[in-house]
Chains A and B, each alone.
Chain A
């Protein structure tokens, strides 16, 4: 027996075992539950009833589709806006100026702050009874709370998007700043010396060079915002609800039969995110092959 060949698999074994049991185990458990397998209440046959109920026939079927649209919109918009904002800020922060260290510190300040705190902060700041509304009232800009625009608990998820942008811009920023630092200024200097103006340099040099890192970060942020429930629970409305909140409601339902629908909803969220990740990996692999 060639033990040398087995050495690395054996060393990786314990870690792989933990990952397999925790990840694939819980995924498999969730999957069978979504197929109605709940022996504790006597359901042992596997059916697609929960999926059909969640998407088509159940009381919440309408909520599911509007929730899916809202979730895609919120995750997409938050990811795009955070990425765009982070790129702009990172490019500004790359320059040398008085107070740069303080600016970088403030830019990254909210990284360790939990999403929950950010969501509550949003409420305190931007709701119709929040600080900004009161300030506007004190200045005489509005006559009462109702005159202040609805920025939280709105049906378009504006408050949720703002909270995610607030939080994720710092995450994107760290990645973009690290990429920009490793690239240096030389590529842009070459382009500038060859006649490219500021916008041409950004479009033809900076953006293509940071794009691989930016796309990877976008997948992480999109997957997170697509599956996260704390912020939409606090800043969202009852209808439409984002999918993770709808899923949470299924789980919190005292009727144990709703558990299968909750699991079905979770699996759908996971499948959508996985599909997008695979799509990204396929596109990146093609780009890498081409480059």
Chain B
């Protein structure tokens, strides 16, 4: 198991003025599964390629177990990358594909065969040795690509959008498989994704990157409960933002004053609450606001409501039953639980 550290890493492409990766610092614990999350073009794949050695950083350092690996060529670095589009060698059998890395290490044929069979068993593709890549489905090809990377026992496993080319049910299957194998083998794994749900479900920790800069590096729950900026909250599905000022234990916002129990930043200027944390109020509760239902949409397991409070919109996710009790244009009272309110820095 390898500890991965990234220190002040930057990458500036010749044709671009702005850096693709800008002064990135990360400490990835050995044996953990970490997601590099962000929108397309934010620099996450560039970061991964620099870890793999496929791109040279402009500045900064990458350390495996506290030793810089920048001078080690990619083929001897021990960071194996699995690409988004599988990239199985089309002219090789599945066994040849999986055993490729071992063959390059000049391992004996019998040992290669043994390890290939073991690895295909691990990715739940036993007996596929003689097939050709084109005879396999997308999900199977991705599993072969994973087996090909794992068989060389990498120090760091790098997965570039491993689920993006798969349909919904294969995604779930592959997600579980990656998680199971990663825990079983204990390989320090970094994966790139633009899908926050995927990152939350799979990762021990998430590094959220916008415009090449690390925004927040934390456990998944923190991105929902304690986002460090409005942009991060919005990326994770936050939609309720009310400007105002903090005063003692309370926050006076554009839609009212609320008690807040959790500490926010000193320069807090935006109050936020997730739509699923907003409750329909019972009589006699504090932290309430009243408004008019603008719209309500049934989305299967629950309902989405848009409520106008003093010309501001509050988005609510509630039980589907709410649609039997209220209609569009009805007055409704909402409660913001103190422990669910979070204050973000002013912009």
Contact = CB atoms under 8 A, between A and B. Distances in A.
Interface of A: 96, 186-187, 189-197, 200, 204-205, 208-209, 291
Interface of chain A: mostly helix, strand, loop or mixed = helix
B132 A195 contact: no
B75 A192 contact: yes
A208 B89 CA distance: 9
Contact of A193 (B74, B85, B89, B105): B74
Given A189-B81, A195-B75, 18 more contacts: A96-B14, A186-B83, A187-B87, A189-B49, A190-B83, A190-B87, A193-B53, A193-B158, A194-B100, A195-B76, A195-B104, A196-B100, A200-B104, A205-B89, A209-B91, A291-B90, A291-B91, A291-B132
B152 interface: yes
**7 closest pairs, A vs B, by CB?**
A194-B101, A193-B81, A196-B104, A195-B104, A192-B74, A190-B87, A208-B91
A8 to B, nearest CB: 30
A199 to B, nearest CB: 11
B54 interface: yes
Contacts of B158: 193
B45 to A, nearest CB: 11
A125 B262 CA distance: 85
Interface in B145-169: 148-149, 152, 158
B269 to A, nearest CB: 45
Contact of A194 (B53, B54, B152): B152
Contacts of B53: 192-193
Interface in B78-114: 79-81, 83, 85, 87, 89-91, 100-101, 104-105
B52 interface: yes
A291 B133 CA distance: 9
A205 B148 CA distance: 15
A86 B79 CA distance: 33
Contacts of A204: 89, 100, 104
Contacts of A197: 75, 104
Nearest to A291: B91
A279 B346 CA distance: 74
